[in-house]
Amino acid sequence: MSKLTDVPKRILIGRALQSDKLGETLLPKRIALPVFASDALSSVAYAPEQIFLALAVAGITTIHFSWWVGGVVALVMLVVVASYRQNVHAYPSGGGDYEVATVNLGANAGLTVAAALMVDYVLTVAVSTTSGVANVVSAVPSLHGHEVAISVTLVVVLMGMNLRGVRESGTAFAIPTYGFMVGILGLMAYAAVRHFFLSDSMHAASYKFDLVPAHGHENVAGLAMVFLLLKTFSSGCAALTGVEAISNGVPAFQKPKSKNAATTLLMMAVIAVVMLIGIIWMGNLTGLKMSENTAQLIGAPSDYHQKTALAQISQAVFSNFSPGFYYIAAVTGLILVLAANTAFNGFPVLGSILAQDRYLPRQLHTRGDRLAFSNGIIMLAGVAIVFIIGYGADPNRLIQLYIIGVFVSFNMSQTGMIRHWTRLLKTETDPAVRRRMMRSRVINSIGLACTACVLVVVLGTKFLSGAWMSCLLMVVFFVMMKAIRKHYDRVSAELVAAEERPDETVLPSKVHSVVLVSKLHKPTLRALAYAQLSRSAHTSTLEAVTVDVDPADTAALKADWERRGIEIPLKVLHSPYREVTRPVVDYVRQLRKDSPRAVVTVYIPEYVVGHWYEQLLHNQSALRLKGRLLFTPGVMVTSVPWQLESSERRRKPVEWNAPGQIRRGDLLRVQKRAGAAADTEPGPGGAGTTDSKDSSA
């Protein structure tokens, strides 16, 4: 069975890597930039669009405010990046905001950050993928209506690429990320040449339509204008998503890790700010008009399909060079889809840290064949697909859930960093070091002030628009992680070994050994021999047990048992309803009830087949029986396998001569005494009928 799964697994994700190859997966800055910064860089493709969409509510008269909003968003981004550079140097282990909050603010604060980041990572995948598909559909309108299927397929592809490992996926993502940067900067340069040197007029596809206010008012003033600008600002802050990814991924950088991560963070900020301001400038230059409801565009036909902001801008700028338009559409779609890679790199690392701290299942802490945290990657993809399907792959609906998690983690992180520097300053005496710490604390204080204001604005303007869902998910994740930790703590407490000397250890008074039997064939004889050699003569009892589901078969078994002269007593359990598992479990529990200090060992003979299609021919009764017995205190279950010719181990027999194992000569002697010359074929029956991975029950 394993061979059947190994081949396609190796084709899809590559050959397994040894643990000592982990260092070879570390990333240089040129690869780390597209791997960890693709989310923040790609967000400039939809953040300006959200600004124009928000301002469109008040009509054409407010479009010029996009400059101011974009400038404030850029300023906040630079402040946040400056703050996170302090995080990277102070906490290079990769815990990021979670580690900062846990160490400085306590476990509950850390869990709050973790819940926020998990929501953010899921939405990063959903928003980035659907936005990329929307840009592609803008260039290829025939794909309209298939957004959900395309988005889900792309998430699955991304999952497969990340399962191959960080370095391979990073190399694959580097080309489109750099292609996107070159494309946007080239678009800005081409627009500047046409505008300043050639004096060409450039008009977006929507320039011929007029915008009307949603409520029929030409001008918005007073508190309404303030609320509009705040909502526009909160929408534009989508450009800040992904900034924290580098601080969470410091361990993936080549040495010196902290320095390389801080440099990459600064490079990302400069490039993102330049592209953000450039797209807003081109949007105003081309007369871009966006609307969530195309009915708000005067003169637009009823079936008008609005293209994305960047698609309209590039179409206007490259009106005399169509290859440029399709290039921008292609690289924008790619970068937006691949921006989800930031989450695929961040979520598994965070999940591994949380699993190590016993807040998530332990399976998330284990690296897969390719040294990636495979379980975390698969989990992220699955949850993101649920959101994509649930919201119809509409990025404008999904983005309303966005940002909340980002700024919750921003605030908790900056608060933790302020406390971190304050604690260190109490013991630091070197003047130069103290000055650096005080400077870092000031930077983090400014970052906290900015992010706190943004969080208040985002909650006030987006809560009813969909942000409540993010808040609810954070609460659910928080409660879930607390419950998981409580479970692991309870299990650990129960498993702690008592501090007592060996002679004080309470041993069971005796061991009842029970061998499940239906027919006297090779697996049964092996189980009887093994049970005989395993028991202690003074403290153990041994009996064979069968379930009477067919009187004729039971009578034949008893006759064969007596004919062979097997000295082990055979007990028959009656089953009027032809059940096998329940009578065995009830009998074992009765043994425990009669001798509370005794231990019951149940031997289950079974035969093993080697092909997957043979597995389908057997009822897997051993699994059911073992599952029931596992919940019975004081019961041990031992499987005694018999490998058939089709199994790999049967084709390559192993001598039982290792220390502590039965020697082949001993086994043959016991089998001879038990009448091992029989070669009865397995047949249907009660307890003891061996199946592939089935109990004799």
At 628, is the pLDDT very low, low, confident or very high (cuts 50, 70, 90)?
confident
Residue with tokens 């967000």: 43
At 646, is the pLDDT very low, low, confident or very high (cuts 50, 70, 90)?
low
The structure tokens listed for 495 are 């498993």
The residue ranges of every structural domain in the chain are 7-14+21-489, 507-673
- Whole-number pLDDT of residue 539: 58
- Whole-number pLDDT of residue 689: 41
| Of the candidates 683, 607, 613, 682, the residue with the CA atom closest to the CA atom of residue 650 | 607
The structure tokens listed for 527 are 């189980």
β-bridge partners, 292: none
At 626, is the pLDDT very low, low, confident or very high (cuts 50, 70, 90)?
confident
User: From residue 243, how far is each of 28, 77, 118, 233, 261 by CA, in Å?
Assistant: 18, 8, 15, 17, 12
| Of the candidates 378, 370, 303, 326, the residue with the CA atom closest to the CA atom of residue 348 | 378
β-bridge partners, 670: none
Chain mean pLDDT for the chain: 77
- Whole-number pLDDT of residue 142: 83
Tell me the average pLDDT across 397-402.
81
- Whole-number pLDDT of residue 649: 47
At 495, is the pLDDT very low, low, confident or very high (cuts 50, 70, 90)?
low
* 255 compared with 178, residue with greater pLDDT: 178
- Whole-number pLDDT of residue 696: 38
Tell me the average pLDDT across 526-532.
81
Residues 513-523: tens digit of each pLDDT: 888 887 787 87
| Integer Cα distance of 490 and 62 in angstroms | 59
At 24, is the pLDDT very low, low, confident or very high (cuts 50, 70, 90)?
very low
Where does 339-430 have alpha helices with state H? 340-356, 374-390, 395-398, 404-425
| Integer Cα distance of 83 and 70 in angstroms | 20
DSSP annotation of 508 reads P
* 576 compared with 154, residue with greater pLDDT: 154
User: From residue 510, how far is each of 82, 121, 539, 591, 599 by CA, in Å?
Assistant: 69, 55, 5, 11, 6
Question: Are both 7-14+21-489 and 507-673 of the same fold?
Answer: no
- Which residue type occupies 20? D
Most confident of 365-379, 527-541, 598-612: 598-612
User: Does 343 score more than 90 pLDDT?
Assistant: no
The structure tokens listed for 366 are 């284990």
At 389, is the pLDDT very low, low, confident or very high (cuts 50, 70, 90)?
very high
Do 637 and 629 contact (CB within 8 A), yes or no?
A: yes
- Whole-number pLDDT of residue 270: 92
At 103, is the secondary structure helix, strand, or coil? helix
Phi and psi at residue 660, in whole multiples of 5°? 85, -5
At 22, is the secondary structure helix, strand, or coil? helix
- Whole-number pLDDT of residue 676: 39
* 135 compared with 295, residue with greater pLDDT: 135
Tell me the average pLDDT across 115-132.
88
- Whole-number pLDDT of residue 111: 92
| Integer Cα distance of 692 and 206 in angstroms | 68
At 297, is the pLDDT very low, low, confident or very high (cuts 50, 70, 90)?
low
% of the chain exceeding 70 in pLDDT = 75
User: Does 219 score more than 70 pLDDT?
Assistant: no
Q: 561-582 as b/e, with b when 16 or more CB fall inside 10 Å?
A: beebebeeebebbebeeebbbe
Q: Does the domain formed by 507-673 have CATH 1.10.150.650? A: no
| Integer Cα distance of 647 and 193 in angstroms | 73
User: From residue 514, how far is each of 171, 557, 643 by CA, in Å?
Assistant: 59, 17, 22
Residues 194-218: tens digit of each pLDDT: 999 988 888 876 666 665 554 444 4
| Integer Cα distance of 255 and 250 in angstroms | 10
Where does 304-366 have alpha helices with state H? 309-317, 322-338, 340-356
Tell me the average pLDDT across 548-566.
86
Most confident of 19-28, 220-229, 362-371, 373-382: 373-382
Q: Does the domain formed by 7-14+21-489 have CATH 3.30.70.380? A: no
User: Does 661 score more than 60 pLDDT?
Assistant: no
